[in-house]
Amino acid sequence: MLLNQKYEIFPTEAQKEVLDRWLQYCRQTYNSALLDKERKYKKNKENYDRYDMQRQLTLDKNAYPFLKEMPSQPLQEVFARLKKAFNHFFRKDAKYPKQKKYKDYKSMTFPQFGFKPIRACFDQSFFKTCSS
C-alpha cells in the first residue's frame, strides 16, 4: 500500500527564504534537465533518462556549489517528475512538457521526510519539531 501524507508547515521568515531558494533550484534543475533531454534527442536520437540526469546533477554540484546547499533527494525527485511528465505525454494524456516559470513550480518532494509516532516528532532536513 502506497501512503502519501501532505503537511502544512508554518516556517519562520528565514526558513521561508530557504524553502523559496530550494524551490527555485528545483525549478532550474527541471528546466535544465528538460533542455538537456531535448538536445540529446535532437542531436543523437539518444534517450536521456533519469539516471543520466542524476549523474549530470553530480557534475553540476561540483560546478555550482549553491546546489550543495539543499538536500539531494528533492533535486533527484525533479527527474522523477520530468519522467512522469514525459510518460503522460507519450500515453497522450498530456501535452509535451514545457519549461516551468516561477509561478508554475510550487512544490517539491522530500522523500526522506518522516513521522515518528512514538514521540510525535516531525523530522525534516532543515528543522525538527517534537512534542514530548
State residue 46's pLDDT score.
84
**C-alpha grid cell for residue 62?**
561540483
Which three cell numbers mark 78? 525533479
pLDDT, tens digit, 9 for 90 and up, residues 43-93: 988 888 888 999 999 999 999 999 898 888 999 999 999 999 999 999 999
Residue 81: the pLDDT is 92
pLDDT tens, residue by residue, 10-52: 889 999 999 999 999 999 999 999 999 999 999 988 888 888 9
Whose CA is closest to 37, among 52, 26, 27? Answer: 52
Residue 24 in 3-state DSSP? Answer: helix
pTM of the complete model beyond 0.75: yes
